[in-house]
Amino acid sequence: MELFDNHKKLFGTAFLFFASLTVMVAILPALSNQKNNAPLPNAAELSPDAVKGKAIYVANGCVGCHTQQVRNVDMDKVWGSRPSIAADYADIHRTDFFRNTATLMGTERTGPDLTDIGTRQPSKDWNLVHLYNPRAVVKESIMPAYPWLFILKKQPSKTDVVVNVPKEFMGGQEGKIVATKNVMYLLAYLQSLKQTKLPDGTPVPAFLYKQEVKKQGGPAELDGKALFTANCQSCHQANGEGLPGAFPPLKGSPVVLGDNEELYVDIIMHGYDARAEYGVMPPVGTNANFTENEVAAIINYERSSWGNNGKKVTPEEIKKILDVVKLKPQN
Amino acid sequence: MKKKRVIIVLVFLLLNTVFPQLLFAQEDNTPSTFSFHSVGAWLLILFLMVMSCVVMALILKYKVGQITRGNKEEHRLNKKEKFANYLSNFSSRQIEAITTWKRKNSGAAKLLLPFILLAIATFTAVSPALAQDATGADTNSFLSEAGVIITIVLLLIPILVAVILLSIKAKNVLTQYKNKKSAEEAAELAAYLKTLPEDEINAVLKSRQTALDYRLSNKELSGQEKAVDDKGLIKINSEFGLPVVALKKKAIKRPDIDPALSKLILWYFICATFWLLFGTTIGEYLGIKFVAPDADHLSWLSFGRLRPVHTNAVFWGWASLGMLGLGYYVVPRVSNTSLSSIKSGWWALWLINAAVVLGTLCLMAGINNGGGEYREYIWPVMLLFGIGLILTLNNFLKTIAKRTTREIYIANWYIVASIIFALVISFVAYVPIWQNGLGETIIQGYYMHQGVGMWFMLFTLGIVYYFLPQQLNKPIYSYSLGVLAFWTQILFYTLIGTHHFVFSSIPWWLQTIAIVGSVGMIIPVIAGTTNFIMTFKGAWYKIKDSYTLPFFLVGIIFYFTGSMQGTAEAFRSTNLIWHFTDFTVAHSHLTMYGIICFFVWASIYAIVPRLTGKEAPQITIGAHFWMALIGLLFYTIPLMYGSTLKGLLWLQGKPFIDGVTLMAPYWLWRAIGGSLMWLSHVFFAYNMYKMIAKRTVVDVKELAIQKLEEA
């Protein structure tokens, strides 16, 4: 055949065929997406510090293990209150002359998704210790340590941000670990990663592939240990002892074992910042959309673990408290 | 029975020396604390030392047991029977000696010597307690301080030496005792032989000697004639030796290739080999970091920076240069003409190498393009690669333009098209006009998958279309199946990019197109596989005496399974389980390694001997093949299994960290498989050296002819 025996025609045809498919399947969709999507009206722009922090995030290849996309499937609802939509990425443009746009959606989830990490874990103390050596707060973690983002000082000045690194992670060094500017930028970026609320009236896309709940003999009691592991353990630790100077122990805690269940539930739902010696607790329960069932399961787990021996609660009791707590003004 | 014991001991040894991390890691489900400057390293050394003590003790115990058993057996047989037994077990030489002695009827003392040598082992039991004193040492409980451990290690060194000395001593004592026993027995046997009447013994022994001395002439089947090869079909081996590996055919001498082109191609291969070793060393280290995340704390070696160094070095350095080197051979050959410009080939080589060197340095310094996979090199670096490709394309097109054949052989379709497509996708990937917001993601999905399928896969298929028929010495089964696969590959493969972003916020219809395209890939894959397998038809027997065909066969198998696995992964239901897990990593190794690397190796082994006239030792080629194959399976299967479990765990809504601890043993297996793969590359590099290095080996025949011609 003439087509196959003439190299210009043969390779020309192959090129045109491939190029036209490319235009249809990649270039046109890309152009239409960047043209037809606008950022959400209430989306916050990155602060200058967070922009620098994002550059550090990119430089160190964090995207290799951390995604930034909440898929519209049920299993992803732990990573955000709604699936990510095109508008969430619409405001991301080319980084600079040398670097391409970084949407940082990622394709591997060796570590947790970070779309909403600023809501889930805003604690400065936790993040800095974790970046210095992740295993100081999550002993099973395989994330790399980033000690080069910190410096060692014998006598830190008043303006220095001192990081409370447990002794066994100091590697025998004497002195205090002080955060550098770079790690503070990175922290600012991580804290800025929050899902923007959809404007009122916008239909929220659904999470698909819901797991069927077994409906046998009423609602089964939730696994308090698993809930604790997923939501509380990174600060309060598996042994319930917290980290001295950063996160308070739950073992023997007066809040956990005391009678003021209203305060207890309030802390779980809305966070806590009453004690200067410890880091700020984020509103864990609100972020994760806890119902009375989850709260009750966690309370019962905390009250019956690590030698704690407190009164059991039922979801019904918690429901009443929740209704009261919800009415309280939030700052 | 004995063998089993030995195997158990060996397995135990292996488990404890090679996989101590497994034992450490699994105890509390945390990653290993191994670091080059930590307590862990010392613990490891300590552990190895204690283990060798234990192993030594076990071996000793085994030896003692062996002797005890021998002793028990001896008691069961009574002396007479035993001597009669000896009588029928003499060797011919011994019978000769006995009959001579009988004839002379004197000099009994001389007989002792041979009997000492053939006596059976006897020994009474030595207390097995000796063997057990080292086993009780439990090392893990109280050791936490480096100082304590170092002290214990230092203490253990003399103990270890003592145990070794002790076992040698014990062995000597045992041997001496055994010899003494045997000597006694031999004396008795000699006395017994003396008492036997001469006629009786002669009849028995003589007939035994005749039987023992019978030999086949070795000419029963072949006759007395000398082997003559007057049709050039059989290989007459004039040198005798023990074949350690199956003897495979030597490469057939082909028409000479322009030495300048030869040199160019060889340098492509040498560079490719370097990047393979470099890139997989990095990969191996990354695999170790999954098990020991604190192995180092240097920014340039941190995981996030090294990961793209690994992928890009093996992509643009190893696989691309390897393929291009093969292309420089195939394109002019099937066009039946010479290469248009050797000089521009050198330029392309320099540019691509420069791109990988600069890209690697940039990535390690923290300069990257923004995180899209395989698009981590910033544009000035990738531009060098692109120019290299443009030069190559121009060169190949000009070569094909001056071809002396009418048709363009199918191999050239694939090779040239893949270079055109690689340029198109790089252009699309690096031009900033359509990269804002989700545009970047859509382009990323397109680019990364076209890079794999339209550059590596297509080029490699072109190579296979040339080398497979050539190595089988028969035409490709169906030219038209090749044509069908070519056009359907373009049609379907181009569509599938966004299947890496199923369930993401890119348009649902675009995701669906990608899934449909993935299913469509069944057509070109089955067409290609059928074509290759059918080419093998009637020539399967050639696999056993070729060292290149096994590589091709593995490549074909993975071409089918790996590609079909890609289709299976693309469905929404499977994506739900496998997306974001290490399944993707396993899949990309199954394909990029199982298909591309095996095909490229096969082809390199096929042509380098033709270019240099030298072949690599078959044993090291075999080592390369088996280690790469077994390593790949060790790497991928545990990862696929583990990540399936992980996906199911995510579906059940279990805490994320549970998935991390779940993967620990599978990551360890990945590191083990990776080590085997890496080792196979060392063998490959050695083979390259053997094939290429200039050695002055005098070929007697060549030299003789040379002398004749000179005269």
**What HEC string does B636-701 produce?**
HHHHHHHHHHHHHHHHCCCCHHHHHHHHHHHHHHHHHHHHHHHHHHHHHHHHHHHHHCCCCCCCHH
How many angstroms away from the CA of A320 is the closest CA of chain B?
27
Is B49 in contact with B160 (CB distance < 8 Å)? yes
Planar angle of CA A143, A147, A148, nearest 5 degrees: 120
In this prediction, residue B117 has a pLDDT band, given cuts at 50, 70 and 90, of very low
Determine, for residues A58 and B29 on separate chains, whether the beta-carbon distance falls below 8 Å: no
Determine, for residues B651 and A75 on separate chains, whether the beta-carbon distance falls below 8 Å: yes
Nearest residue of chain B to residue A95 (CA atoms): B370
**Which positions 546-585 of B are in contact with A (Cβ < 8 Å)?**
576, 580-582, 584-585
In this prediction, residue A174 has a pLDDT band, given cuts at 50, 70 and 90, of confident
Mean pLDDT over the full length of chain A: 88
Is B143 in contact with B46 (CB distance < 8 Å)? yes
- The CA distance from A251 to A244, in Å, is 13
Q: Which residue type sits at B259? A: P
Question: What confidence score (pLDDT) does residue B137 get?
Answer: 40
**Which positions 332-351 of B are in contact with A (Cβ < 8 Å)?**
none
- Residue A57, pLDDT > 50, answer yes
- The CA distance from B638 to B569, in Å, is 17
Q: Tens of pLDDT along A94-135? A: 999 999 999 999 999 999 999 999 988 888 889 999 999 999
> How far is CA B600 from its chain centroid?
15
In this prediction, residue B109 has a pLDDT band, given cuts at 50, 70 and 90, of very low
Tell which residue, B607, B595, B612, B532, has the closest CA to residue B561: B595
- Could you give the angle at which helices B479-493 and A7-22 cross, rounded to 10 degrees? 30
φ/ψ region of B432 (left if φ > 0, alpha if ψ in -120 to 50, else beta) reads alpha
Nearest residue of chain A to residue B492 (CA atoms): A21
From chain B, the residues in CB contact with A60 under 8 A are 299, 302, 304-305, 366
**Which positions 501-540 of B are in contact with A (Cβ < 8 Å)?**
501, 503-507, 510, 513
Average confidence (pLDDT) over A74-88: 91
- Residue B110, pLDDT > 50, answer no
Question: What confidence score (pLDDT) does residue B5 get?
Answer: 52
Is B378 in contact with A99 (CB distance < 8 Å)? yes
Bridge partners (DSSP) of residue A162 are A178
Determine, for residues B438 and A69 on separate chains, whether the beta-carbon distance falls below 8 Å: no
Planar angle of CA B151, B157, B163, nearest 5 degrees: 135
Question: What confidence score (pLDDT) does residue B448 get?
Answer: 94
φ/ψ region of A245 (left if φ > 0, alpha if ψ in -120 to 50, else beta) reads left
Q: Tens of pLDDT along B416-442? A: 999 999 999 999 999 999 999 999 999
Selecting from B400, B651, B655 the residue whose C-beta is nearest the C-beta of A7 gives B400
- Residue A21, pLDDT > 80, answer yes
Tell which residue, A234, A219, A242, A237, has the closest CA to residue A291: A219
Of B234-248, B362-376, B515-529, the one with minimum mean pLDDT is B234-248
Is B530 in contact with B481 (CB distance < 8 Å)? yes
Is B399 in contact with B340 (CB distance < 8 Å)? yes
Q: Tens of pLDDT along B159-210? A: 787 788 788 888 888 888 888 888 888 888 888 877 777 777 777 788 888 8
Interface ipTM: 0.87
Determine, for residues A102 and B307 on separate chains, whether the beta-carbon distance falls below 8 Å: no
Determine, for residues B504 and A71 on separate chains, whether the beta-carbon distance falls below 8 Å: yes
- The CA distance from B198 to A325, in Å, is 115
DSSP sequence for B408-477: PPHHHHHHHHHHHHHHHHHHHHH-GGG-STHHHHHHHHHHHHHIIIIIIIHHHHHHHHHHHHHHHTS--S
Question: What confidence score (pLDDT) does residue B439 get?
Answer: 93
Bridge partners (DSSP) of residue A177 are A152, A163
From chain B, the residues in CB contact with A19 under 8 A are 424
From chain A, the residues in CB contact with B27 under 8 A are none
Edge to edge, the sheet with strand A162-163 lists: A150-153, A176-179, A162-163
Planar angle of CA A203, A208, A212, nearest 5 degrees: 125
From chain B, the residues in CB contact with A142 under 8 A are 31, 289-290, 293, 660, 667
Which token pair is B508? Answer: 């649902």
Question: What confidence score (pLDDT) does residue A220 get?
Answer: 60
Tell me the three state secondary structure of residue B296.
coil
From chain A, the residues in CB contact with B507 under 8 A are 29, 33
Is A291 in contact with A238 (CB distance < 8 Å)? no
Determine, for residues B660 and A141 on separate chains, whether the beta-carbon distance falls below 8 Å: yes
CATH architecture of A48-192: Orthogonal Bundle (1.10)
How many angstroms away from the CA of B47 is the closest CA of chain A?
22
Q: Tens of pLDDT along B668-708? A: 999 999 999 999 999 999 999 999 987 666 667 777 777 77
- Residue B121, pLDDT > 60, answer no
- The CA distance from A230 to A249, in Å, is 17
Question: What confidence score (pLDDT) does residue A212 get?
Answer: 66
Nearest residue of chain B to residue A108 (CA atoms): B580
Domain range list for chain A = 48-192, 224-327
Question: What confidence score (pLDDT) does residue B36 get?
Answer: 62
Is B647 in contact with B696 (CB distance < 8 Å)? no
Determine, for residues B503 and A73 on separate chains, whether the beta-carbon distance falls below 8 Å: yes
> How far is CA B619 from its chain centroid?
12
In this prediction, residue B522 has a pLDDT band, given cuts at 50, 70 and 90, of very high
Determine, for residues B505 and A86 on separate chains, whether the beta-carbon distance falls below 8 Å: yes
Q: Tens of pLDDT along B548-593? A: 999 999 999 999 999 999 999 999 989 999 999 999 999 999 999 9
Is B314 in contact with B275 (CB distance < 8 Å)? yes
- Residue B7, pLDDT > 80, answer no
Tell which residue, A293, A25, A307, A39, has the closest CA to residue B516: A25
Is B331 in contact with B412 (CB distance < 8 Å)? yes
Selecting from A59, A67, A84 the residue whose C-beta is nearest the C-beta of B505 gives A84
Bridge partners (DSSP) of residue A152 are A177
Determine, for residues B293 and A143 on separate chains, whether the beta-carbon distance falls below 8 Å: yes
Q: Tens of pLDDT along B445-474? A: 999 999 999 999 999 999 999 999 999 999
Q: Which residue type sits at A264? A: Y
Question: What confidence score (pLDDT) does residue B35 get?
Answer: 67
Selecting from A60, A64, A76 the residue whose C-beta is nearest the C-beta of B366 gives A60
Question: What confidence score (pLDDT) does residue B118 get?
Answer: 37
**Which positions 35-64 of B are in contact with A (Cβ < 8 Å)?**
37
Question: What confidence score (pLDDT) does residue A251 get?
Answer: 87
A148 CB-contact burial (10 Å; exposed 0-12 / middle 13-18 / buried 19+): middle
CA count, 13 A, side-chain hemisphere, B587: 21
- HEC per residue, B138-204: CCCCCCCCHHHHHHHHHHHHHHHHHHHHHHHHHHHHHHHHHHHHHHHHHHHHHHHHHHCCHHHHHHH
In this prediction, residue A281 has a pLDDT band, given cuts at 50, 70 and 90, of confident
From chain B, the residues in CB contact with A147 under 8 A are 297
B434 CB within 8 Å of a chain A CB: yes
Question: What confidence score (pLDDT) does residue B123 get?
Answer: 31
From chain A, the residues in CB contact with B427 under 8 A are none
**Which positions 160-219 of B are in contact with A (Cβ < 8 Å)?**
none
- The CA distance from A311 to B458, in Å, is 68
- Residue B531, pLDDT > 70, answer yes
Q: Tens of pLDDT along A195-215? A: 998 888 888 888 888 876 555
Nearest residue of chain B to residue A73 (CA atoms): B503
Planar angle of CA A300, A305, A308, nearest 5 degrees: 90
Is B513 in contact with B484 (CB distance < 8 Å)? no
B497 CB within 8 Å of a chain A CB: yes
Determine, for residues B435 and A94 on separate chains, whether the beta-carbon distance falls below 8 Å: yes
- The CA distance from B632 to B675, in Å, is 10
Question: What confidence score (pLDDT) does residue A130 get?
Answer: 94
B431 CB within 8 Å of a chain A CB: no
- The CA distance from B567 to B517, in Å, is 9
- Residue B412, pLDDT > 50, answer yes
From chain B, the residues in CB contact with A67 under 8 A are 580
Fold of A224-327: Cytochrome Bc1 Complex; Chain D, domain 2 (1.10.760)
- Could you give the angle at which helices B39-76 and B146-195 cross, rounded to 10 degrees? 20
Phi–psi pair at A153, nearest 5 degrees = -130, 135
**Which positions 607-666 of B are in contact with A (Cβ < 8 Å)?**
650-658, 660-661
Determine, for residues B299 and A148 on separate chains, whether the beta-carbon distance falls below 8 Å: yes
Q: How far is CA B346 from CA B342, B389, B392, B397, B419, in A?
A: 7, 12, 10, 17, 17
Selecting from B304, B367, B650 the residue whose C-beta is nearest the C-beta of A64 gives B304
Determine, for residues B407 and A104 on separate chains, whether the beta-carbon distance falls below 8 Å: no
How many angstroms away from the CA of B615 is the closest CA of chain A?
36
Determine, for residues A73 and B483 on separate chains, whether the beta-carbon distance falls below 8 Å: no
Tell which residue, B425, B418, B424, has the closest CA to residue B326: B418
pTM (2 d.p.) = 0.76
Average confidence (pLDDT) over B534-539: 92
Planar angle of CA B455, B457, B462, nearest 5 degrees: 95
B303 CB within 8 Å of a chain A CB: yes
Determine, for residues A21 and B494 on separate chains, whether the beta-carbon distance falls below 8 Å: yes
Question: What confidence score (pLDDT) does residue A151 get?
Answer: 94
Which token pair is B603? Answer: 């082809």
> How far is CA B650 from its chain centroid?
34
The 8 Å CB, 24+ separation contacts for A267-274 are A268/A295, A268/A298, A268/A299, A269/A295, A269/A322, A269/A325, A270/A325, A270/A330
Of A89-103, B47-61, B244-258, the one with minimum mean pLDDT is B244-258
Question: What confidence score (pLDDT) does residue B477 get?
Answer: 93
Mean pLDDT over the full length of chain B: 84
Selecting from A11, A18, A211 the residue whose C-beta is nearest the C-beta of B651 gives A211
Q: Tens of pLDDT along B206-253? A: 888 888 888 887 777 877 777 777 777 776 666 666 666 666 777 766
Q: How far is CA A25 from CA A89, B442, B503, in A?
A: 20, 9, 17
Tell which residue, B626, B636, B634, has the closest CA to residue B683: B626
From chain A, the residues in CB contact with B498 under 8 A are 25
Tell me the three state secondary structure of residue A243.
strand
Question: What confidence score (pLDDT) does residue B54 get?
Answer: 83
Tell me the three state secondary structure of residue B245.
coil
Determine, for residues B408 and A5 on separate chains, whether the beta-carbon distance falls below 8 Å: yes
Determine, for residues B302 and A78 on separate chains, whether the beta-carbon distance falls below 8 Å: no
- What single-letter DSSP state applies at residue B205? H
From chain A, the residues in CB contact with B408 under 8 A are 4-5, 7, 10
B428 CB within 8 Å of a chain A CB: yes
Planar angle of CA A21, A22, A24, nearest 5 degrees: 65
Higher pLDDT, B126 or B216: B216
Selecting from B37, B440, B450 the residue whose C-beta is nearest the C-beta of A101 gives B440
Q: Tens of pLDDT along B271-307? A: 999 999 999 999 999 999 999 999 999 999 999 999 9
Question: What confidence score (pLDDT) does residue B208 get?
Answer: 83
A-B contacts at Cβ under 8 angstroms: 271
In this prediction, residue B20 has a pLDDT band, given cuts at 50, 70 and 90, of very low
Question: What confidence score (pLDDT) does residue A148 get?
Answer: 94
CATH architecture of B259-408: Up-down Bundle (1.20)
Tell me the three state secondary structure of residue A152.
strand
- The CA distance from B364 to B312, in Å, is 12
